[in-house]
Amino acid sequence: MASSGEEPRSGSPGRAGTGTELPPTADGAQLDTAEDFEVLEEEEEEEEEEEEDLSELPPLEDVGRPPAAPREDAQPSEQDPQEWLDVLGSGLLKKKTLVPGQGVDTHPRKGQDVTVRLKATLEDGSVVEENPALTFTLGDCDVLQALDLCVQLMEMGEMALIMSDAKYCYGAQGRSPDVPPNAALTLEVELLAARDAPDLELLSGKEKIELANRKRERGNFFYQQADYVLAINSYDIALKVIGSSSKVDFSPDEEAELLDVKVKCLNNLAASQLKLDHYEAALKSCNLVLEHQPGNIKALFRKGKVLAQQGEYREAIPILKAALKLEPSNKTIHAELSKLVKKHADQKNVETEMYRKMLGNPSAASAPGKCKDKLPWSIPWKWLFGATAIALGGVALSVVIAARN
């Protein structure tokens, strides 16, 4: 919920960085491999562009106000290993106070918008980020996890040093071109301000769209990092923003844009849920998309995949056929549909064999066929003699009763 003036550029480790934007193969109209549906969709104009070259962006020092002058009493203490706080108890994330703050009662709270001064360096001392006023919502995972977790422990005005493993920064993928894969970072952070986040009901249509898109893009970043739990968290926050009530009237165009963002979030949410085998949740997300857009190919495809994973081939096949009808040249749907048809045929063969065994020896069923050559009136003589005797007995009994009367 950072103001647009304070929003760092895409290269900042405080945001999604270059990892936020997904590869151009995310275009739903250009699905050439079986995995393309698993890649999240981006804006149409982004899909047609080549991968963004961040080397052309202006340096982050040019963004916002100039760095604050160091405080006169800011005398960083010597690094004593005993002074480090092991934040998670694993040794992978440590915090050390360089300059004390204004007291424990000034700790920021989750949900507040906080502003920090940030300097990030690699282990070799290379500076990869300097931001004099980075603003983010605390606890929403809008920034590096190392920063989000440790700022909660800081006091207002405190300056701290954070040493973080790559797991809580940019992970195995890093951030091109300045943060290599599996790179640990050292963050120098000063907590400058904390304030309550703006009321969602009072946001304008444009503000709500921008906020929801920032949360969605952060979810895309986590998806690329294969952190599907945090991706789901970000998409859920974006959907909460979109679904919040409003005291402000939106234009028809803003309503349409909000719906478009909602559909993207739900589609990406379903993709993340599929990665975690949360099939019921993914099915619900797909159905919500199809309520708004019955012809959404990605939602149809993912719903078909969910049903197939649950063994519901009979339901999955018509859904994939409907998706293929909308986009007949889609090789991904063709491949998935062919696979399901084969699995369904195999499933029916197994069921047929099972029923045959349940009914007993199949050869016994053909035994009555041996009597087909006999005439329908061919009756054994013993049965005929017995029937005649019973008939005569009945006549004799009738005569006796009549005589007595």
The reply to whether omega before 67 is within 30° of 0 (cis) is: no
CB 139, CB 68: distance < 8 Å: no
pLDDT, position 405: 55
Q: Tell me, what DSSP letter sits at residue 191?
A: E
CB 329, CB 30: distance < 8 Å: no
Q: Where are the domains of the chain?
A: 80-197
Residue reference for tokens 């961040």: 54
Q: What is the pLDDT of residues 68-100, one digit of tens each?
A: 444 444 444 444 444 899 999 999 999 999 999
pLDDT, position 382: 55
Crossing angle of helices 313-326/297-309, nearest 10°?
A: 160
Residue reference for tokens 């053909």: 366
pLDDT, position 349: 65
402 vs 114: which has the higher pLDDT: 114
Q: What is the pLDDT of residues 217-240, one digit of tens each?
A: 999 999 998 999 999 999 999 999
pLDDT, position 396: 65
pLDDT, position 383: 56
User: Average pLDDT of 366-379?
Assistant: 46
CB 169, CB 13: distance < 8 Å: yes
Q: Tell me, what DSSP letter sits at residue 31?
A: -
User: How far is CA 397 from each of CA 384, 388, 392, 393, rounded to the nearest angstrom?
Assistant: 20, 14, 9, 6
User: Average pLDDT of 338-342?
Assistant: 83
pLDDT exceeds 50 at position 174: yes
| Strand partners for 163 | 94, 186
Out of 27-31, 359-363, 389-393, least confident range? 27-31
Which residue blocks in 14-111 are alpha helix, DSSP H? 44-48
CB 180, CB 162: distance < 8 Å: no
What CA–CA distance (Å, rounded) separates 146 from 144?
5
What CA–CA distance (Å, rounded) separates 127 from 344?
57
Crossing angle of helices 205-224/228-243, nearest 10°?
A: 170
Burial class of residue 23, CB neighbours in 10 A (0-12, 13-18, 19+):
middle
Mean pLDDT score of the chain: 78
Dihedral Cα 288, 293, 295, 297, nearest 10 deg: -60
Token pair recorded at residue 281: 């949740």
Token pair recorded at residue 71: 């405080």
9 vs 168: which has the higher pLDDT: 168
- Residue 287: pLDDT band with limits 50, 70, 90: very high
- Residue 384: pLDDT band with limits 50, 70, 90: low
Out of 53-67, 293-307, 347-361, least confident range? 53-67
Q: How many residues does the chain have?
A: 405
> Distance of alpha carbon 282 from its chain centroid, rounded?
8
Which residues contact residue 295 at a Cβ distance below 8 angstroms, ignoring those fewer than 6 apart? 326
Nearest to 262 by CA among 241, 280, 248: 241
Maximum separation of any 2 CA atoms in the chain, in Å: 140
pLDDT, position 400: 57
User: Average pLDDT of 140-149?
Assistant: 93
What CA–CA distance (Å, rounded) separates 332 from 36?
8
What CA–CA distance (Å, rounded) separates 63 from 158?
23
CB 320, CB 336: distance < 8 Å: yes
Q: What is the pLDDT of residues 258-285, one digit of tens each?
A: 999 999 999 999 999 999 999 999 999 9
pLDDT exceeds 60 at position 149: yes
In CATH terms, the fold of domain 80-197 is Chitinase A; domain 3 (3.10.50)
Token pair recorded at residue 271: 């993709």
pLDDT, position 95: 96
User: Average pLDDT of 355-380?
Assistant: 53
Out of 86-100, 248-262, 364-378, least confident range? 364-378
Q: What is the pLDDT of residues 306-335, one digit of tens each?
A: 999 888 888 988 999 999 999 998 888 888
